Chain A
Amino acid sequence: AQSVTQLGSHVSVSEGALVLLRCNYSSSVPPYLFWYVQYPNQGLQLLLKYTTGATLVKGINGFEAEFKKSETSFHLTKPSAHMSDAAEYFCAVSDAGGTSYGKLTFGQGTILTVHP
């Protein structure tokens, strides 16, 4: 079984500060890892994904994440927060083409607040 833990249900940063959202996963097979963002009253939008290859992946809106197998982590970062980054962020895992048909297992989410 797969699971995802997001450390911190709420993160607050100042505009221009570093954003760090933490995600740890558990998987018995090599995972595919994802970060999604959800704005109020909107569906989830994919920020970035890790499948194979380079462990540092870049996504939209200046976000990036690094896959660290030894730490079973996939933390999301952005060097400089913008007010428009305020949203809820979800980390998710799926097994790499196994019997789960690509279904996603999500963490509980982290609400990011950006202060002026």
Chain B
Amino acid sequence: DTGVSQNPRHKITKRGQNVTFRCDPISEHNRLYWYRQTLGQGPEFLTYFQNEAQLEKSRLLSDRFSAERPKGSFSTLEIQRTEQGDSAMYLCASSLDYLEQYFGPGTRLTVT
């Protein structure tokens, strides 16, 4: 069990470019969550997968954001036409149940 991994750890992009982040959950975990954390704030929920099904999306997830979890394994989060306001830490977490989510180290996005 190597924990939740996220790649890349850091991403710098220019405004208007598309970016994609990857999350590899703990192998037996069927639940996967994405959160966004801005400086000085707690993480905010973005979206949730149970196996390959995306069951909930936050209003924070505008139409420029899309997430997938093909085959219920790894997940990707894509942001199209990035804006400076998208600069944040993007956190992924996985779990077996409601009781404990295991977080990855995050991907820090900087939009210039």
**Contacts from A to B (Cβ < 8 Å):** 4, 9, 32, 36, 41-46, 49, 51, 90, 92, 94, 96-97, 100-109
Contact = CB atoms under 8 A, between A and B. Distances in A.
Given A51-B99, A100-B56, A109-B41, 9 more contacts: A43-B91, A44-B43, A44-B91, A46-B100, A101-B98, A102-B97, A103-B33, A106-B43, A107-B42
Contacts of A102: 31, 33, 48, 95, 97-98, 101
Contacts of B41: 108-109
Contact of B98 (A32, A43, A92): A32
29 contacts: A9-B40, A32-B98, A32-B99, A36-B103, A41-B105, A43-B4, A43-B103, A43-B105, A44-B43, A45-B103, A46-B100, A49-B100, A51-B99, A96-B98, A100-B56, A101-B48, A102-B95, A102-B101, A103-B45, A103-B56, A104-B35, A104-B43, A104-B101, A106-B43, A106-B44, A108-B41, A108-B42, A109-B41, A109-B42
Interface string B48-61: 10100001100000
Interface of B: 4, 31, 33, 35, 40-45, 48, 50, 55-56, 91, 93, 95, 97-106
Contacts of B104: 43
A44 B93 CA distance: 9
A36 B93 CA distance: 13
B40 A108 contact: yes
A101 B56 CA distance: 8
A20 to B, nearest CB: 19
Contacts of B43: 44, 90, 104, 106
A45 B51 CA distance: 23
B98 to A, nearest CB: 4
* Of listed A44, A92, A96, A107, residue having the most chain B CB within 10 A: A44
Contacts of B35: 104
Contacts of A36: 103
